[in-house]
Amino acid sequence: MQFYTGQHQYYCGIDLHARTMYVCILDSNGAIIAHRNMASAPEPFLTFIAPYRSSIVIGVECIFTWYWLADLCAREQLAFVLGHALYMKAIHGGKAKNDKIDSHKIAALLRGGMFPQAYVYPAEMRATRDLMRRRNHLMRKRAELLSHLQNTNSQYNLPEFGSRISRRPDRQRMDILERFADPQVRKTVEIDCELLDFYDDMLPKLEWHIQTCAREHDPKTLALLKTIPGIGNTLALILLYEIHDIGRFPTVQDFMSYCRLVKCSRESAGKLYGHAGSKIGNVHLKWAFSEAAVTFLRGNQEGQKLHQRLVKKHGKGKALSILAARIGRAVYFMLSREKVFDRDKFFAG
């Protein structure tokens, strides 16, 4: 966890919502000099902070509406700090809670050097990252449709399909609708097939568009990531846009924690009370590295031998987690040193 410790004459805490925001400004002594509820718009906000903008820092909790405020502060050359929502316990732990109290707490955390920071993703690549996340969401919806077809087929105790229903030519050749006698069931399956056809047309075009953007944003990093066995276009794009800049992680431990590849222990007085923080970090990177651990083994004899040794020592489930963590460490040092994947170094340990 990193805290913002910058010194300013004024500290502005904002409890931000979609349509309104409560703004609190403290001076260097902690006194409230301005406190107001206003519309979430640039004009009233800039007018409100105008007397104090010579030396002010803006702090806001990381919720889905922070994009416009971060971009506004960047254009106006105002110091902006994004707060990590899960770490800001001072807001959620009080007896009384409302927008006015929350905005004051945010400003007080800023002034006291106890404001937990989240990463302000630059606007140049932010929209493409969100588009990639949307692609992953749509791909999971497609997988749900395939599962529903399989479940419906099993529900009526029909023979297995016999080929891959994920491929449109196979679906058309086997004529899935004719398998079901009930017209209502047939209508349900027809809807699933039509949606699958739509996804099959749309997703390749979307992936090609994102790849074109990636070649403009950071082609070198994209090429480095593809040198890892098992990491193809999709996983490389996820890693590229979710990591963005490897330099924002001072150590490999920070990177591993951000990717949810390690467990953080809870200790007190020399006693271990288990682990915590499993939900803090980037869920997209956690999924990508977990998927990479599986695809890494395909056609990779050295990787399969390593996996077998890990299975004997730790069990099957934990072996894949250890392999995902090893791939995560490899990615960190590859990007930090701008080196391609080195099989000798990876398997030397």
- One-letter amino acid identity for 311? V
- One-letter amino acid identity for 53? R
Dihedral pair phi/psi, residue 98, rounded to 5°: -155, 175
Q: In angstroms, rounded to a whole number, what is the distance separating the alpha carbons of residues 119 and 252?
A: 17
pLDDT at residue 178 greater than cutoff 80? yes
Closest C-alpha to 128, from 75, 206, 205 = 206
Return all residues near 22 (Cβ < 8 A) that are at least 6 apart. Answer: 14, 15, 35, 36, 37, 38, 99, 100, 102, 103
Tokens linked to 33: 């000099």
Grade residue 317 by pLDDT with cuts at 50, 70 and 90.
Answer: confident
Contact 72, 42 (CB under 8 A): yes
pLDDT at position 286, please? 96
- One-letter amino acid identity for 296? F
Q: What mean pLDDT do residues 271-283 have?
A: 78
| Percent of the chain whose pLDDT exceeds 70 | 99
Dihedral pair phi/psi, residue 13, rounded to 5°: -105, 135
Contact 61, 16 (CB under 8 A): yes
Tokens linked to 62: 């990381």
pLDDT at residue 349 greater than cutoff 70? no
The residue written with tokens 């820092």 in the block is 57
pLDDT at position 270, please? 78
Who wins on pLDDT, 1 or 26?
26
Q: How high does pLDDT run on average in the chain?
A: 93
Q: In angstroms, rounded to a whole number, what is the distance separating the alpha carbons of residues 6 and 68?
A: 23
Neighbours of 112 (CB within 10 A): 13
pLDDT at position 78, please? 97
pLDDT in tens, 30-50: 999 999 999 999 999 999 999
pLDDT at position 1, please? 76
Q: In angstroms, rounded to a whole number, what is the distance separating the alpha carbons of residues 203 and 238?
A: 15
| Percent of the chain whose pLDDT exceeds 90 | 83
Domains of the chain, by residue range, sit at 3-118, 124-217, 225-348
Question: Which of 227-265 are b and which e, b meaning 16 or more Cβ less than 10 Å from the residue's Cβ?
Answer: ebbbbeebbbbbbbbbbbebeebeebeebbbbbbbbeee
Grade residue 338 by pLDDT with cuts at 50, 70 and 90.
Answer: very high
Closest C-alpha to 255, from 243, 266, 264 = 243
pLDDT at position 94, please? 77
Q: What class has domain 3-118? A: alpha beta
pLDDT at position 163, please? 82
Q: In angstroms, rounded to a whole number, what is the distance separating the alpha carbons of residues 227 and 82?
A: 34
Return all residues near 138 (Cβ < 8 A) that are at least 6 apart. Answer: 199, 202, 203, 206
Q: In angstroms, rounded to a whole number, what is the distance separating the alpha carbons of residues 240 and 208?
A: 15
pLDDT at residue 96 greater than cutoff 90? no
pLDDT at position 271, please? 79
pLDDT at position 277, please? 66
Q: What mean pLDDT do residues 301-317 have?
A: 94
Region of poorest pLDDT, from 2-16, 82-96, 229-243: 82-96
pLDDT in tens, 218-274: 999 999 999 999 999 999 999 999 999 999 999 999 999 999 998 877 777 777 777
Neighbours of 346 (CB within 10 A): 18
Grade residue 336 by pLDDT with cuts at 50, 70 and 90.
Answer: very high
Q: What is the pTM of this model?
A: 0.90
pLDDT at position 19, please? 96
pLDDT at position 151, please? 96
